[in-house]
């Protein structure tokens, strides 16, 4: 046998032996891709209409752009950085199209979650994985569209909170994160506009940042003091709607140094402005601060009096729940 024939034979043998390796490598990549999909958390707001066939057709036909929307450039606020000017060229969503986009975004995630649940990780289907990725990509495009149309809301709120100690750009950056989180958690089925829900979420984040920074700068730590054992009253929590919550945040932000540390801590706890987001009872606050429940009530009322006085000074209407008779 010639040397060339021997070389060809060896080459063929090597080629055959490499095929299983390439096949195993491809299978490993496929399983790794399937495992990554299996680990993906699909967070969405379910609605029972997602399982109605006729509605599914209607949802899937929803366009990313509103065909009935007229492009109208909004007036840019004075003093706004030039890099944000393009935000005011993006038209706001109409109430109907906003609801339609949220419905489709959550529906696509619902479908993706169903596909993921049926995926066999040991023998994954390329078609199912491609379908999952397509659904998630399309839902992300819708999310980005909703975010783009609401970025000026972040700018508007950031302008109210920004001052010498709290830069505007920092609020815009963090507000964008809060906006995306609000988009993921918004339930369109309740019939409210997204801007109301998002304003609540963004204000809450900004307010916390201002207060946390103030505490770090002041280096003040509140001691728990002596814990008193009184019967807890679970019916003394203060519950606010989104608008009231925003009013409290706005007033407290402008109060700055008018409230002492204890008054501020009590108002934050009673109105659910702490990290736990839960409004605390008088008894719970009293235990944490080491004072009696009645003293907490007195300090709370004194702080609310200051908030009412500030509202008068600023010539703004005080929130109804701050009125003396409440």
Mean pLDDT of 258-269: 83
> Which domains does the chain show, CATH number per domain?
48-66+90-217 (1.20.120.1810), 221-322 (1.10.10.10)
Per DSSP, the residues of 177-239 read HHHHHHHHH--GGG---HHHHHHHHHHHHHHHHHHHHHHHHHT--------------TT----
Q: What is the largest CA-CA distance in the chain?
A: 109
Select, from the ranges 59-63, 225-229, 240-244, 274-278, the one with the highest average predicted confidence (pLDDT). Answer: 59-63
Q: Cite the DSSP H helix spans in 40-125.
A: 53-60, 95-117
Is residue 316 predicted with pLDDT exceeding 60?
A: no
Which tops the pLDDT comparison, 216 or 97?
97
- State residue 326's pLDDT score: 43
Q: 235 vs 245, which has greater pLDDT?
A: 245
pLDDT digits over 110-128, tens only? 999 999 999 998 889 999 9
Comparing 218 with 186, which gets the higher pLDDT?
Answer: 186
pLDDT at 224: 32
Rank 104-108, 187-191, 194-198 by mean pLDDT and report only the highest.
104-108
pLDDT band at 2 (very low <50, low <70, confident <90, very high): low
pLDDT digits (tens, 9 = 90+) for 33-47: 999 998 888 999 999
pLDDT at 12 over 70: no
pTM over 0.75: no
Exposed / middle / buried, residue 130 (Cβ in 10 Å: 0-12, 13-18, 19+): exposed
| CB contact set of 319 (below 8 Å; sequence gap of 6+) | 244, 247, 248, 251, 311
Q: Which residues contact 211 (CB under 8 A, 6 or more apart)?
A: 252, 264, 268, 273
Q: Is 191 left (phi over 0), alpha (psi -120 to 50) or beta?
A: left
Among 51-55, 63-67, 321-325, the range scoring the smallest mean pLDDT is: 321-325
């Amino acid at each position: 046998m010639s040397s060339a024939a021997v070389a060809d034979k060896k080459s063929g043998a090597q080629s055959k032996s490499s095929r299983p390796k390439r096949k195993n490598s491809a299978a490993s990549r496929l399983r790794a891709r399937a495992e990554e999909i299996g680990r993906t958390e699909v967070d969405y707001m379910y609605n029972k209409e997602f399982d109605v066939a006729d509605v599914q057709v209607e949802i899937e036909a929803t366009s990313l752009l509103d065909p009935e929307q007229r492009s109208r450039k909004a007036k840019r606020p004075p003093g706004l950085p030039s890099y944000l000017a393009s935000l005011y060229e993006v038209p706001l969503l109409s109430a109907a199209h906003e609801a339609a986009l949220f419905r489709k975004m959550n529906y696509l995630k619902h479908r993706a979650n169903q596909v993921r649940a049926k995926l066999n990780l040991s023998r994954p289907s390329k078609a199912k994985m491609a379908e999952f990725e397509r659904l998630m990509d399309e839902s992300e495009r819708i999310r980005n569209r909703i975010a783009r149309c609401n970025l000026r809301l972040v700018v508007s709120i950031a302008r109210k909170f920004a001052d010498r100690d709290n830069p505007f750009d920092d609020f815009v950056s963090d507000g964008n994160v809060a906006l995306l989180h609000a988009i993921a958690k918004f339930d369109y089925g309740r019939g409210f506009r997204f801007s109301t829900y998002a304003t609540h979420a963004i204000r809450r984040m900004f307010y916390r940042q201002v207060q946390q920074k103030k505490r770090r700068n002041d280096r003040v730590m509140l001691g728990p003091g002596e814990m008193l054992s009184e019967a807890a009253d679970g019916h003394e929590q203060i519950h606010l709607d989104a608008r009231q919550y925003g009013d409290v945040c706005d007033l407290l932000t402008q109060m700055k140094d008018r409230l002492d540390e204890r008054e501020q801590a009590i108002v934050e706890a009673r109105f659910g402005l702490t990290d736990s987001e839960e409004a605390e009872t008088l008894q719970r606050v009293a235990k944490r601060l080491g004072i009696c429940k009645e003293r907490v009530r007195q300090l709370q009322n004194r702080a609310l009096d200051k908030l009412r006085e500030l509202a008068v000074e600023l010539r703004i209407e005080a929130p109804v729940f701050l009125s003396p008779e409440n």
